[in-house]
Amino acid sequence: MSTAESPLIIAIDGPSGSGKSSVSKAVASRLGVGYLDTGAMYRALTWWCLDQGVDLADEAAVVAAAQTLPLELSTDPDDQRVGVGGSDVTVDIRTTEISSQVSRVATNTGVRPILQQAQRDRMAAIATATGGVVAEGRDITTVVAPDALVRILLTASEEARLRRRSAEVHGTADEEAMAATRDQVLRRDRDDSSVSQFTVAADGVVTVDTSDLGFDESVEAVLAVVASRVGMAARDET
Ligand SMILES: Nc1ncnc2c1ncn2[C@@H]1O[C@H](COP(=O)(O)OP(=O)(O)O)[C@@H](O)[C@H]1O
Ligand SMILES: Nc1ccn([C@H]2C[C@H](O)[C@@H](COP(=O)(O)OP(=O)(O)O)O2)c(=O)n1
């Protein structure tokens, strides 16, 4: 799916647990376009640094690792695989250890322009190959792809985000599990907010609040924004 002239570029940002990854994959799948999980890139770099014995406090060493990161990332929303230097790290990059360390890499200001440029390059390649791309993260609507046809801030209340992440990681959203999830969700968002703005929609970015939506309803809400933006672009072309 694309407008007459250009591929369909969809940028989605939001805080942890708002539904970015799961909703973006479903949207890409429904539209038949590729998918880019930019958070997976920060996670893969964190895994690589720890694997190589790079001290995350050594900012220059982490920047050097970013410049040479041997990353393989699948683009199929229905088959997401992440590889680093020949190792399949699809599962390893989601561990609590990586989740608790990744902000140290993501807030390294020397790292960000390197991964942001890599993300632009990947988005362009995916869009050329599949006619479009859904890319999600924290700064896609504002820094990586501010000219994307569709730009969405996916939000949800703190309570909804904690409940979802807790159910996902601990299999339950009882009080104990919710408390254990707070660091992964709220502390990380606070740290990440120091380098990206993903709590308030920038100019031209449409907010989709999923707090009271089920998963399928969230996907439909995003698809409705896409349809509306594509319709507007088509009218502008005539
Ligand atoms: N609207 C929704 N309603 C209920 N659960 C949702 C919704 N959106 C996402 N989820 C679930 O919440 C969890 C976190 O979603 P995820 O896509 O990983 O969020 P993010 O990428 O923003 O951190 C997943 O288990 C996902 O299936
Ligand atoms: N474009 C991006 C994407 C992710 N990040 C950071 C923020 C997060 O702490 C990590 C991991 O992102 P990820 O989207 O996997 O995190 P969640 O699944 O939403 O919890 O990377 C970023 O700074 N910029």
- Give pLDDT, residue 183: 80
Instruction: Give a yes or no: residue 102 inside a domain.
Output: yes
Domains of the chain: total: 1
- Give pLDDT, residue 142: 97
Instruction: Judge residue 73's burial from the number of C-beta atoms within 10 Å of its C-beta, 0-12 exposed, 13-18 middle, 19 or more buried.
Output: buried
Q: Tell how far the Cα of 59 is from the centroid of ligand 1, in angstroms.
A: 32
Instruction: Give a yes or no: residue 3 inside a domain.
Output: no
Instruction: Give a yes or no: residue 172 inside a domain.
Output: yes
Instruction: Give a yes or no: residue 2 inside a domain.
Output: no
Which of 215, 219, 220, 223 maximizes ligand 1 atoms within 8 Å of its Cβ, making it the mutation to test the pocket?
Answer: 215
Instruction: Give a yes or no: residue 205 inside a domain.
Output: yes
Look at ligand 1, atom 16, and give the residue with the nearest C-alpha.
Answer: 19
Q: Tell how far the Cα of 94 is from the centroid of ligand 2, in angstroms.
A: 11
Does the complex come out with an ipTM higher than 0.95?
yes
- Give pLDDT, residue 5: 60
- Give pLDDT, residue 182: 87
- Give pLDDT, residue 146: 98
Instruction: Give a yes or no: residue 108 inside a domain.
Output: yes
Residue ranges for the chain with pLDDT beneath 70 = 1-5
25 appears as a binding residue in the annotation: no
Instruction: Give a yes or no: residue 1 inside a domain.
Output: no
Q: pLDDT (tens digit, 9 = 90+) per residue, 22-66?
A: 999 999 999 999 999 999 999 999 999 999 999 999 999 999 999
- Give pLDDT, residue 238: 77
Look at ligand 2, atom 15, and give the residue with the nearest C-alpha.
Answer: 39
For residue 31, the domain's CATH number is 3.40.50.300
Counting ligands in written order, the one closest to the CA of 135 is: 2
Q: Tell how far the Cα of 50 is from the centroid of ligand 1, in angstroms.
A: 27
What is the domain extent for residue 233?
Answer: 8-237
22 appears as a binding residue in the annotation: yes
- Give pLDDT, residue 234: 85
Instruction: Give a yes or no: residue 206 inside a domain.
Output: yes
Q: Tell how far the Cα of 128 is from the centroid of ligand 2, in angstroms.
A: 25
